Chain A
Amino acid sequence: MSPAALTLQDVSCTFVSRDNPGQRYTAVAGVSLTVGAGEFVSVVGPTGCGKSTLLNVGAGLLQPSTGTVSVFGQPLVGINARAGYMFQAESLMPWRTALGNVMAGLEFRGTPPADARAQAEDWLRRVGLGAFGDRYPHQMSGGMRKRASLAQTLVLDPDIILMDEPFSALDIQTRQLMENELLDLWQSKKKAVLFITHDLDEAIAMSDRVVVLSAGPASHPIGEFTVNLARPRDVAEVRATPRFIELHQAIWAVMRDEVLKGYQQQLQVKVA
């Protein structure tokens, strides 16, 4: 069997407060997670449970306190060059046009400008921004910026795609459109995807496998569900199928207590 695209083995992350070294916070503890080549895995969990931390570890942006990360069998050193990362927050460079932003990665990797331009234009068309290449990020709507981010990530043709609640800031209609587009693109390329979300519906509708994280601190996987819904799927239609509802109930049963726990903790932090 070929090695998995991304493997986290027993990963823990403890943050130390810079101002007060005595103050520690363990975001995730003892997490083992595997994403096979071509597999679409979602991680769900209550807010503040360290989902983004896991993704940063997989991207190589964050060194785990303990545990190892391997990419296609090789231990990860530094930035994960085989991964593309789509951030939750705005990540486009505001001083570059949409085209400039999509070209950026190719430029950094030394692709000849004419070639980079052609590829970038092709990807802008694929995400429906063909006519908006010369717009600056502040001239685009939130949905258009997300599309540009998607093109920026996918133009590099990464083997692993890391996504951190990429559509959480979008309205529901735009969101479903983007989810379907992403599924289409994924279907045709079959990349490994690690998708972080707090929206269980989104997770089930898109993935092959859903991993549930416990509430923080020291959150860890508490459940794993294989989503055996037929593909290709339409994220809006699939929600009405009996199997979807079954899965939703099963996962929600595991998640509910953790969500309440996470919510209680946030309230306590505010009072303290």
Chain B
Amino acid sequence: MWNAFKPNPRNLRLWQVGLLVAIFGLWHVLTTPGLVPPMVFENDQQAAFFFGEPVKVFDRIAHWFFIDRDIYSHLSVTLIETLLAFGIGAVGGLAGGLWLALSPMASALLEPYIKAMNSMPRIILAPIFAVWFGLGIASKVALGVTLVFFIVFFNVYQGVKEVSPVILANARMLGAGPRQLLRHVYLPSATSWVFSSLHTSVGLAFVGAVVGEYLGSASGVGYLIQQAEGVFDINTVMAGILVLTGFALALDAAVGRIEKRLMKWQPKGGETEKL
């Protein structure tokens, strides 16, 4: 009986959904006033106050998307900021990483500064960017770019450094010039590094946008969260977090799809089929 039911590759998806439902169920049971006697708190309203109630959270999300339809303007602002930060940061990181990896003098010269900029807690730049670029989209994009850039930059740098010297020598013997080496050897060889960094930086692009909005703006999901927090509306805060998580997952999946198409030359474990 249990053997048919226990997690296996076929019912994995079912188990994943089940786990999600279980978490929300537990959340519901523990926070709904009067359902279980208060264990930690003094009265049965406090758990709901501190942790929100899933039913109300979903109600909030439903209102945003389907009843009041008032989240779209905020969501689009946040998504535009995120995509811009992600795009600019990734392209900048790619270009910077390639350049420094291929010119030893520049990398020797700039190395301490890049290390310093990377170890600096860059979130703290948000107020400065707000002063420089105003409270609109630009300051949030700038914050996101600083977060995304370094992740991509270091991965590309590493990826180019780890190009197999034999493949490089072979391409040179086959007659590849500097441009062709870049296009046909360095870039493809760095792609697996680039994609692993892109997965990390999708989340960080959202962090940049939302933190920027949180610290000062008049629109965006971060702004909604900040407003709700001001009146202790935990349900709306939770709803905002869930919506952002959903979109971050969607963006990550999009990166994954592109990766799958570009990386089809990579060996995958276990290509045999059990008959």
Contacts and interface: CB of A to CB of B under 8 A. Distances in A.
Q: Do A and B come from one complex?
A: yes
A98 B158 CA distance: 27
Interface of A is mostly: loop
Contact of A104 (B169, B171, B177, B264): B171
Interface residues of A, number: 27
B265 A94 contact: yes
Given A87-B166, A136-B265, A93 B171 contact: yes
A85 B264 CA distance: 28
A104 B184 CA distance: 9
Interface in B221-275: 264-267
Interface stretch (A32-40, A76-84, A168-176, A184-192): A76-84
A93 B188 contact: yes
A57 to B, nearest CB: 13
Contacts, number: 67
A96 B167 CA distance: 12
B180 A59 contact: no
Most B CB contacts (10 A, CB to CB) among A61, A95, A136, A156 go to A95
Contacts of A89: 166
Interface in B20-72: none
Contacts of B166: 87, 89-91
A61 B176 contact: no
22 contacts: A59-B169, A61-B173, A79-B172, A81-B175, A84-B173, A85-B170, A90-B167, A91-B167, A91-B170, A92-B167, A93-B170, A93-B171, A93-B184, A93-B188, A95-B188, A95-B189, A105-B174, A108-B171, A108-B174, A108-B177, A109-B175, A136-B267
Interface of A: 59, 61, 79-81, 83-85, 87, 89-97, 104-105, 108-109, 136, 138-139, 152, 156
**Shortest beta-carbon contacts, A-B, top 5:** A105-B174, A91-B170, A138-B267, A95-B188, A108-B175
